[in-house]
Amino acid sequence: MEGKEIENEDIEEKVGIKGSEQKEEYLVQDNQVTKNSEPMQFKYKLIIIIAISFIIVGIITVTVLILLKKDNSNNNEHEDDDEEEEDPIEVLPPIIINPTEEYTHCIIWLHGLDNSPENFQKLFGEEIPFIKQNNTKIILMRAPYQNVTYWGNNMTSWFDLFTFPIDDPDCYNFTDVNNSRRMLAKVIRQEAKLLKGQYQNIFVGGHSQGACISLYTAYNLKKLIGGVLVCSGILFEQAEIVGDKNKLKVFLAHGDKDLAIPFTYHKETVKRIENFEGVKKFYYEGHGHSIADFEKVDMGGFLNDSMI
């Protein structure tokens, strides 16, 4: 029995040794697995971090591109609207009647041939009352003093005249016409900035040559302004109408006894724009090339209806 017990103890001892060896082997294997898994986990984490970084960078890049595209679009639109903003053409000092209350509206007026802004100071200050008078800046522009071929001497003129009366497109210098258009457009843009881009609150107008330049400029602008006062004027046959100007408000007044711009020639203008929704025609029998009192009343009514 004692021999068996010794033998059993030997067996247990051997089994215990073997078991402990296997346990140590398992521990070694576990340690190896743990050691091997640590770099794998780090690699996976690194891959995830890199992937997330790429996603974030991608989102930021796309966002920036969208903002840049939008900004460029706005800039391009602004450049299109103000393509002649830095135009070096000279604008002679006008007469300005400032509003007595908050500045919300503007009227820019151009006198006729051999005339001056001084002669129109009372026109909008006293003679033509209108609803926004206290909020309106009046700008009376001054034409260059230059030679007029037909008369052979210098006078205030928005464009040279080769023949007279004005009844044909060959009568006038269209290069001068475009220079005057640029002058007026420059002033319109300057006032639009002061009015925070509210072109619809700007009105232009004039008499004779000034009326012609005003109508041409309003139809040539890319922006739609509030309206045009055309007293004894025409739309030049060479003038381009830019964009949809169907709703441009136009006060188109002419006398049938006008000798400077004959009524028969004025009808050529009517043919081009009479179907436009915004055109309001005012014809005066027996009236010549001047602004009569009854015409001033009609102008006031037009402004009251047009100013918002």
C-alpha atoms less than 13 angstroms from C-alpha of 212 in its C-beta half-sphere:
28
Tens of pLDDT, residue by residue over 130-161, are 999 999 999 999 999 999 999 999 999 999 99
Note down the domain range covering 76: 1-81
Q: State residue 95's pLDDT score.
A: 97
Q: Give residue 180's pLDDT.
A: 98
Least Cα distance to 211 among 257, 247, 170, 180 occurs for 180
Query: Which of 19, 46, 81 is the last residue in one of the domains?
Result: 81
> What does pTM read for this prediction?
0.74
* 125 shares a domain with 19: no
Residue 86 belongs to a domain? no
Residue 4 belongs to some domain of the structure:
yes
**C-alpha closest to that of 269 among 295, 227, 306, 239:** 239
Task: Give the closest residue to 160 by CA, choosing from 169, 237, 168, 150.
Answer: 150
Domain boundary (56, 81, 106) is at 81
Domain-embedded: residue 200: yes
Where is the domain boundary, 81, 109, 125?
81
Contacts of residue 170, defined as CB under 8 A and 6 or more positions apart, other chains included, come to: 162, 163
Mind listing the pLDDT tens digit for each residue in 162-185?
999 999 999 999 999 999 999 999
Measured CA angle at 211 (ends 262, 133), to 5 deg:
135
Residue with the bigger pLDDT between 26 and 152: it is: 152
Number of domains in the chain: 2
Residue 255: is its pLDDT beyond 90?
A: yes
3-state secondary structure of 131: coil
What distance in Å separates the CA atoms of residue 234 and residue 213, rounded to the nearest whole number? Answer: 9
Residue 66 has pLDDT above 80, yes or no: no
Q: Stretch 51-58: mean pLDDT, rounded?
A: 72
- Is-contact 110 228, C-beta < 8 A? no
| H or E stretch at 250 | strand 250-255
- Confirm if 111 and 119 have CB atoms less than 8 A apart: yes
Q: What is the pLDDT of residues 102-121, one digit of tens each?
A: 999 999 999 999 999 999 99
Q: Is 108 left (phi over 0), alpha (psi -120 to 50) or beta?
A: beta
Q: What is the pLDDT of residue 47?
A: 73
Whether 199 contacts 247, CB under 8 Å: no
Which CATH number does the domain housing residue 201 bear? 3.40.50.1820
pLDDT band at 196 (very low <50, low <70, confident <90, very high): very high
Judge if 151 and 297 occupy the same domain: yes
* Structure confidence at residue 228 as a pLDDT band (50, 70, 90): very high
Q: What are φ and ψ of residue 283, in 5° steps?
A: -110, 140
**For residue 1, is pLDDT > 50?**
no
Read off the pLDDT band of 62 (50, 70, 90). Answer: low
